[in-house]
Structure 1
Amino acid sequence: MYADMVIKSKAVFAGDGTQPFAGGVAIVNDTILTCGDELHLAAFIGPDTEVRDYGNKLVMPGIIDSHTHFAQGAMTTDPDFCVNLIDCTSFEQAMERVVSFAGAHPDNEWILGVQIIQFQWAVPEMPTAKMIDAYISDRPVLLQQVDLHTFSVNTCALEKMGVTRDVEDPAGGKFLRDENGDLTGVLSNNASALFMESVYNPPIERARESFAKTAAYANSCGITSVGAVNPTFVSLENPYAVFAEMNRAGRFPLRVFMYTDLFDLETMTPEEIEAKYDFPDSTIEWNGLKQFLDGVCSDHTAWMLEPYANAPETCGEPAEDPERIRASMLKAIENGMAVRIHAIGDRSIRFVLDCFEEGERLYGKQDLRHCIEHNETVQPEDLPRYARLGISPAMQPWHMLLDMADLAKDAAVGPERAALSWPLHSLQASGANIHLGSDFPVVGIDPMEEVYGAVFRMLEDQSNPEGWFPAERISMAEALRAYTLGSAYAMGVDDRFGTLSAGKVADICVLDHNLFTCPPAEVLETKAVLTVLGGKVVYEA
């Protein structure tokens, strides 16, 4: 059988090796026919075969971002929907940018600022309503911390949503108050839900435009698949249905593997959940369930075993009732449903591992490909439990660089626990299946940022070339495997995706740098020159 297309290069990484090789991959229809060296490929090249030779560029499986909040991410990368504040080094600079955005967008119902890193400000605290009021008092303002666990609103926003000092804290969230019991305008976790529902509610066609632009950008990065995990952070009743509709129309060339709300099991049967998210004739697939257990270490919302070094009065606390999480996890496992839980603090991680262990004891091993998300502080005695229980740790190394710049994680947990942070090498050495993702829009969806963080563990400007706890670095091959086969395995689709193996779906990308030989700075600059989804070219530079 002759191939429809052959993609050649002097650097082919099949997703499961340690080094690239000279050769290529042959495609027929939507399937990989074979992958091998030049001599092997020759037998599959016929008179009508399209042969593309990419020289020294890197050919590899399509990149699979295992952890995104894609719907919200699409909106927060729209420069007419919000203003990005990630590089602001002071509250004043951030508000000058917010005021400018508000002036340029007089018809926007909300003024939204995203990706604040307040730890790089002189006063490393999220602003109060009064502080924001001094700049904008006549239009509602919502400001999001980069990790999406802490938020600030102005007085106009509180009034718009009818939130007064009598409001009760929701489960898994807090309205912060001053010494008099008055609202400060700073919100944590689920206290933001009311505001987020109002903000992230654009007209449907605007949402479609944002989704299409972001899918196209993902393709330009070599991404062919994403894990879209709960919550969506948008008010559209079912954004996945919009993805599917657009995909069928050719406007959304991306695979989406959904992990919807674990707590749906409290009101819906497993069959009802799967039916709600069944989108035939599209590349949008339901894969399992997901929930949050805690927040993040830098602002003391992650649930720790011991008190914080710079806040000894607290160990953090769960964002949701642990017993509710446990009961829902066990129900899912009983019904053969894969579960993913956000756990950053070492106490959260241990609790979730305990729940998975209980599920295995009650219902046996089922190869359900459960995951723990983030895994930012893991005690040594818990490392081997991942592989033993078949739990795949999801890691997002660029988060590490966000905390590295101002040593926010070191300050929060102290040096001994900082050394246990983002333990990519230790988890891998223990036998766990690491998979990489971005947590988009906490950071951008560009996978090279995560690869850079995993391999080099140093700041973008390379001002700390020795790296942050460099023993936890992983190799380039290990990082790319985690972004391809590792992600596919974690989501239970490794029989179809993740390697350039004969019989698998032809999801392939070609990157403009050979990541195995280029210097660190060029890793961050790398983009795709070709992206193939199911045998069809969806992006070409």
Structure 2
Amino acid sequence: MKLIISLLATASLSCFANTTVIYNVNGYTPTYKGETQHFSALVFKDGKIVKTGNDSIKNSFPDATAIDGKQATLLPGLVDAHGHVIGLGNNLSQLDVRNTRSADEVGKMLAEFAKDKQSWIIGRGWNQEQWPGGEFPTAADLDKYVKDKPVVLSRVDGHAVWVNSKAMELAGIAKQTPSPAGGEILKLDSGLPSGVFIDKAETLITQHVPKVSHASINTALDNAGKHLLSLGITSTHDAGIDYDTWQVYKQRSEQSTLPVRIVAMLSAADPQLETMLKAGKYKDMNDMLSIRSVKVYADGALGSRGAALIEEYADRKNHHGLMLETQEKLEQLFNLSFSHGFSANTHAIGDKANHVVLDAYENVFKKTGGILLRNRIEHAQIVTPEDIPRFKTLKIIPSMQPVHATSDMHMAEQRLTEKQLEGAYAWKTFLAQGSVIAAGSDFPVELADPFDGLYSAITRMDHNQLPEGGWRPQELLSRDEALRAFTLGGAYAAHQEFKVGSLEQGKWADFILIDKDYYKAPISEIHDINVTQTWIAGELKYKKEE
């Protein structure tokens, strides 16, 4: 009997040997039951949460490693439910023209960047809405600075490219080149291509850009991972990966070298979609990589007037945007996805696109099922008030990016009428009907910083706190609602609500320490919150330099 007691005591002590207690923290977590829990100590073992409570619980774990949190605020690791990981990583090494104020400013940056480049020059981030006049640029604007090397610059939303004459020459673009279905080649008054290619017309150019290697994908992944960890993002949903990225992600998962948790959506536009689907759903033992959905593209973006609208654009007569797929094609893609057990996550920004996508989902659900797969509409930016309840009826998750509202608000009021804006960026309305919002940023279209998104969700104001009271403030979220959308909302959309998204017993110990109290800081300071530490599965992955 003494031997048994001794063995039990030894086992009891050894079970705490790899236990860690972080105490003296100002901790908050949403819970599965819908509450927000406050705590001062967090216990985890083997990468998973044991319990939360007050500082006295560390006395129950005498042999645990104890870490003094020095009263820092602790939150669950943040989940970005819609980003583009490799695009973000590439952006960090390519020409970044975000926040430029004119085509000439872009040109000067391009000339400097191109000095040591021998091949295609790739960049991203321009936004003609920030320039005098708001007009689209032309190839001639780039030719003034670089004319001997092909230049391809993606618009900030990724739904248009601006190229120089050399790029059009190498791509064989001429006056008679027709715009493809679902795309538009903008033309000059002379009828010649202007140098801007929208949505599916982009591929007329981009198919000629040299293919990226697995090595460059790995580099981009590592660069993006470091950036995301520094922002407190422990899990991100990658909205549309190609075959090569699919291969790299699985290799990195098997090597246990993924920098953050990734929930990857297969791109429906990839020629090898069926090959990837036939390989089946993928999930590793540590929940670092999950692949079980397909990203489908229904329309373009509002900034390039590619979002498909029921009524014409307020600032472009007789123009309704671009549907990238017919409803019949959408239904085929949904059927294909569902037949392999994959959900369908569909990009839809305009009210027409959202309506057509909802119709397509409804038809497929009636014929073949799939309603329980947690299908999503990505963005769901402009939705008619009549269509919003259909998200709940059809169990469609609105995957929305709060920062889009604050970056789009001035442009949206030019593009759209008051009637079209009635169901725009309607987060509160979706929540009120019981929909789960999965919040993200759409990086690198927007900055990846989730505290920008939280600030936008709570205020609907820009960083100058304008407009006063918020833009269309009836759709404001509370701090609780916003944090839940950036944690458990994203986790639910990935079928991971029992794995990540909150600091509850048995879940992965993914958490962050920040330099201000998210709940008590003045609203104006939320976007300035900095992450000091990021932990994934109980391991410190990022620490801010002091």
Task: Look up the match of 1:239.
Answer: 245
RMSD across aligned positions (CA):
2.5
**1:415 matched residue in structure 2:** 418
* Farther-moved stretch of structure 1 (435-444 vs 265-274): 265-274
**In the superposition, relative to structure 1, how do residues 537 and 44 fare at CA in structure 2: closer, same or farther (>3 Å)?**
farther
1:450 paired with 2:453, answer yes
- Picking from 5, 12, 23, the partner of 2:27 is 12
Q: Select the residue among 13, 18, 24 that pairs with 2:41.
A: 24
Corresponding residue for 2:112? 100
Match of 1:526 in 2: 529
Which amino acid counterpart does residue 330 of structure 1 have in structure 2? N
1:483 alignment partner, SS class: helix
The answer for the alignment partner of 2:97 in structure 1 is 85
Classify 1:227/1:425 alpha carbon distance in 2 versus 1 (closer, same or farther; 3 Å).
same
Shift in Å, 1:318: 0.1
Q: Of residues 367, 372, 377 in structure 2, which corresponds to 1:372?
A: 377
Q: Secondary structure at the match of 1:402?
A: helix
SS in 1 for 2:307: coil
Maintained 8 Å contact 2:23/2:58: no
Counterpart CA distance in 2 for 1:478 and 1:64 is 14
Identity of matched residues, %: 28
Distance 1:270 1:239 in 2: 11
Find out whether 1:323 has 2:328 as its counterpart: yes
Map 1:65-76 onto structure 2 (within 5 A).
Answer: 65-76=80-91
SS in 1 for 2:161: strand
Q: Alpha-carbon deviations, 1:265-297, whole Å to 9, x = none? A: 99727852427x677888222121111101122
Aligned residue for 1:99, secondary structure, equals: helix
- Equivalences, count: 527
Name 2:393's counterpart in structure 1: 388
How far apart are 1:70 and its partner, in Å? 0.8
Structure 1 residue identity aligned to 2:293: G
Q: Which moves more between the two structures, 203-212 or 442-451?
A: 203-212
Matched with 2:303 is 298
Hey, what does 1:210 align to over in structure 2?
220
Give, in angstroms, the shift of residue 426 of structure 1: 0.8
Q: Is this contact kept in 2: 1:425–1:472, CA < 8 A? A: yes
Pairing of 1:56-455 with structure 2 (within 5 A):
56-78=71-93, 81-82=94-95, 84-103=96-115, 106-199=116-209, 201-231=211-241, 237-246=243-252, 249=255, 251-262=257-268, 268=274, 272-274=278-280, 283-364=288-369, 366-404=371-409, 407-455=410-458
Please state how far the C-alpha of 1:408 moved relative to its aligned partner.
0.8
- The answer on whether the counterparts of 1:110 and 1:199 sit within 8 Å (CA) in structure 2 is yes
**Residues 1:259 and 1:203: Cα distance change in structure 2 (over 3 Å):** closer
Once the two structures are superposed, what CA deviation does each residue of 1:382-439 show, in whole Å capped at 9, x if it has no partner?
22221222111111121222223xx110011122323421111111111100011111
- Aligned-partner Cα distance in 2 for 1:37–1:281: 28
Query: 2 CA distance for matches of 1:347 and 1:271?
Result: 29
Amino acid at match of 2:510: D
Contact 2:278 2:340 in 1 (8 A): no
Q: Secondary structure at the match of 2:398?
A: strand
Instruction: Indicate the SS of the match to 2:373.
Output: coil
Larger Rg: 2
TM-score, scaled to structure 2: 0.90
Select between 330-339 and 180-189 the one with higher mean Cα deviation: 330-339
Question: 1:141 Cα shift?
Answer: 1.3
Q: In the aligned structure 2, how far is the partner of 1:243 from the partner of 1:196?
A: 23
* Offset from partner CA, 1:248-279 (integer Å, 9 cap, x none): 5565321111110236699727852427x677
Instruction: Assess, with a 3 A threshold, how the Cα gap between structure 1 residues 266 and 161 changes in structure 2: closer, same or farther.
Output: closer
What is the CA–CA distance in structure 2 between the aligned matches of 1:510 and 1:181, rounded to whole Å?
57
Q: TM-score, normalised by structure 1?
A: 0.91
Greater Cα offset, 492-501 or 429-438: 492-501
Aligned amino acid, residue 23 of structure 1: S
Distance 2:302 2:248 in 1: 35
Give the superposition deviation at 1:463. Answer: 3.6
CA distance change for structure 1 residues 126 and 534 in 2, over 3 Å: closer, same or farther?
same
What amino acid is aligned across from residue 138 of structure 1 in structure 2? D
Q: Distance in 2 between matches of 1:201 and 1:186?
A: 22
Q: Deviations over 1:416-475 (max 9, x none)?
A: 323421111111111100011111111122111111111111011224232111111101
For the 8 Å contact 1:308–1:413, the answer to whether it is kept is yes
Once residues 61 and 267 of structure 1 are traced to their aligned partners in structure 2, the CA distance between those partners, rounded to angstroms, is 34
* SS in structure 2 at match of 1:367: helix
Q: Which residue of 2 aligns with 1:469?
A: 472
Query: Does the CA contact (< 8 Å) of 2:371 and 2:395 recur in 1?
Result: no
* Bigger mean CA offset, 62-71 vs 354-363: 354-363
Equivalent residue letter for 1:67 = H
Q: Is the 2:128–2:136 Cα contact (8 Å) retained in structure 1?
A: yes
Q: Which amino acid aligns with 1:480?
A: L
CA distance in 2, matches of 1:107, 1:137: 13
Q: Equivalents in 2 of 1:385, 1:266: separation in Å? A: 32
> Using the alignment, how far apart are the partners of 2:407 and 2:276 within structure 1?
38
Secondary structure, aligned partner of 1:242: helix
1:37 to 54, 59, 79: 54
